Structure 1
Amino acid sequence: MFINFCSAEMDVEDLDIMTFKAYQLYISEHREINKISVRTYARAVKVFYRWLYFEEYIDIDINRLNLIKANKEVILPLSDNEVKQLLILYDNSSFLSCRNRSIIMLMLDCGLRLGEVVNLMLNDIDFINHYLVINGKGSKQRIVPFGIAVSGQLSVYIDYRKHCITDTNSFFLTQQNKAITHNTIKMLFARIKKKKAFARVYPHLLRHIFATNFVYNGGNLEVLRVLMGHSTINITQIYIHLAAQLHLINDNYSSHLDNLLHDKKESS
């Protein structure tokens, strides 16, 4: 995208801070993407600028390559009732429906990334002790426990899977008995999003829901960091704020004005 933005006549030496600023302005005004995505694109270009600088192709103050400020998007967690409605979408009446229900429940109960679900193998699951061995980012392994409900659901899926003739060790399979791909899960959630009540549901939201509920129920942040596979606790701390939002959604909010007006009616 940056190459297309730069004119064909522009030399490498012409790349300066103004070009960098103009590029961010261009993609923010001419592309249907939010500021967070603009920063992602610009960050890649900034790496390119740094390489050019250290290779002495350009001579600019790279410390002045500032990214535009992103609007912090509020992540609204699903309420308990919405989660229940989501789980109703799929049952165990067929192989595909059971698989889809298993994927959703696993993501909700374990906070897995999309890729971690795709890469889950049969021997990664310990049904006796109720935990998964997850191979996360950077080939880092971690142990993630799961509950009785997920254990029962995965057992039903295993019964279906036993009848599949396949040579893959992948836990989740397609209808053609092949290992699922990233696109399999993306298409699953694309179908879910078509339903009006779940227009804002996407794979990573289920990971947010897991983490938010973990904190909401009094879970320790450091334990959550390990469960999520975060390298630092800085990322994990966002869920303190999300848990507070969930309290407002699920709990009975006490309006001071309602109480005041109610008392006034009773006294009159």
Structure 2
Amino acid sequence: MNLSQAYEMFMQEQKFRGNSQETISYYKICLNMFIDYCGSDLDVSDLDVILFKGYQLHLQETKNIKRVSVRTYARAVRVFYRYLYFEDLIDININKLQLMKANTEVILPLSDVEVKQLLNSFDVDSFLGVRDKLICMLMLDCGLRRGEVVKLTNSDIDLLNCTLKINGKGSKQRIVSYGNLTNLYINLYKDLRPDVLTSSSDSFFLTIHSEPITHNTIKMLFQDLKTKSGITRLYPHLLRHTFATNYIYNGGNLEVLRVLLGHSTISITQIYIHLASQMHIINDKYNSHLDTLT
């Protein structure tokens, strides 16, 4: 079996498992890059650990991308390798499929001052201003991902109980709650929103032409917000990091946070313990032992 045939089998399996369109697109992009590197006629029996490592070095040296991005592309290839291994199509030690080490960049959540700075940068006298502010509020108040905001529908919102039904990664659903201020802006947005009857879907967030927003809508929004707010490191996922860090900082339970964020394992959520500890160091007065001696 050649690499192209194995790829078709793998992608069919991902659709059968019910993976989201985002996940399938991720595999498609990453694996096609890998196939271009290897050649579509390569026999799968020639796939080995050396080729996997060589591909990562190739990405780093020719694509001019950071090591963390190399890991993102290579992670999909490793899943592909594992699929072929468990289908008895290759015979290698899959435990040796190591990803390139990357320098861990410090995540700096938004401070309370920066959150206020961000939320004050919207024109709340216009439909778009209210819509865009509400998008940011949902990310800050509920920890939503960009894709989860895009997929939010009218029927997902329970105004009575102030909760949202979120369709997360891997078609997993969860319930999250939101606060009074967010509830106020949800109702304000609904009053200003264009006639939903002209929309082709049940999407909650619409453009001024009553069309559902897209991932690109939010991408362009945050590019604009960098200038308006003056927060140059701003990006959508930073608001999710800020929500999670504040949740732990204020005494929230780690397992509850895992459910709220839609993480499959608690090991992913544990990063926010470190971030909350860093926030304590920054915000709390440091009692220097040396000061007590002098």
- Establish whether TM, by shorter chain, passes 0.5: yes
C-alpha separation between the residues in 1 aligned to 2:146 and 2:40? 39
**1:63 paired residue number:** 95
Confirm whether residue 234 of structure 1 aligns to residue 271 of structure 2: no
**1:93 paired residue number:** 125
Structure 1 runs not aligned, ≥5 long: none
C-alpha separation between the residues in 2 aligned to 1:132 and 1:8? 45
Pair 1:129–1:191, CA change in 2 (3 A): same
**1:110 paired residue number:** 142
What is the Cα deviation at residue 7 of structure 1? 6.7
Pair 1:136–1:49, CA change in 2 (3 A): closer
Pair 1:87–1:14, CA change in 2 (3 A): same
Q: Does the residue aligned with 1:198 lie in a helix, a strand or coil?
A: coil
C-alpha separation between the residues in 2 aligned to 1:113 and 1:58? 36
**1:38 paired residue number:** 70
Quick check: 2:194–2:208 contact (8 Å CA) kept in 1?
no
C-alpha separation between the residues in 2 aligned to 1:9 and 1:152? 58
What is the Cα deviation at residue 62 of structure 1? 3.8
C-alpha separation between the residues in 1 aligned to 2:156 and 2:54? 48
Q: Which amino acid letter does the alignment assign opposite residue 256 of structure 2?
A: V
Pair 1:39–1:98, CA change in 2 (3 A): same
Provide TM-score, normalisation by structure 1.
0.86
Pair 1:56–1:226, CA change in 2 (3 A): closer
What is the Cα deviation at residue 138 of structure 1? 2.5
Q: Which amino acid letter does the alignment assign opposite residue 207 of structure 2?
A: T
**2:6 paired residue number:** none
Moved more, 108-117 or 45-54: 45-54
Quick check: 2:121–2:229 contact (8 Å CA) kept in 1?
no
Confirm whether residue 74 of structure 1 aligns to residue 116 of structure 2: no
**2:161 paired residue number:** 129
Structure 2 runs not aligned, ≥5 long: 1-32
Quick check: 1:79–1:249 contact (8 Å CA) kept in 2?
no
C-alpha separation between the residues in 2 aligned to 1:123 and 1:57? 45
C-alpha separation between the residues in 2 aligned to 1:101 and 1:66? 42
C-alpha separation between the residues in 1 aligned to 2:102 and 2:265? 21
Confirm whether residue 214 of structure 1 aligns to residue 247 of structure 2: yes
Moved more, 184-193 or 62-71: 62-71
Q: Which amino acid letter does the alignment assign opposite residue 162 of structure 2?
A: H
**2:203 paired residue number:** 170
**1:157 paired residue number:** 189
Alpha carbon RMSD of aligned pairs, Å? 2.6
C-alpha separation between the residues in 1 aligned to 2:194 and 2:40? 58
Moved more, 192-201 or 133-142: 192-201
What is the Cα deviation at residue 32 of structure 1? 3.1
C-alpha separation between the residues in 1 aligned to 2:99 and 2:87? 22
C-alpha separation between the residues in 2 aligned to 1:50 and 1:162? 48
C-alpha separation between the residues in 2 aligned to 1:110 and 1:52? 38
Quick check: 1:80–1:250 contact (8 Å CA) kept in 2?
no
What is the Cα deviation at residue 53 of structure 1? 5.3
What is the Cα deviation at residue 64 of structure 1? 2.8
**1:22 paired residue number:** 54
Moved more, 145-154 or 46-55: 46-55
What is the Cα deviation at residue 172 of structure 1? 0.8
Quick check: 2:144–2:240 contact (8 Å CA) kept in 1?
yes
Confirm whether residue 142 of structure 1 aligns to residue 174 of structure 2: yes
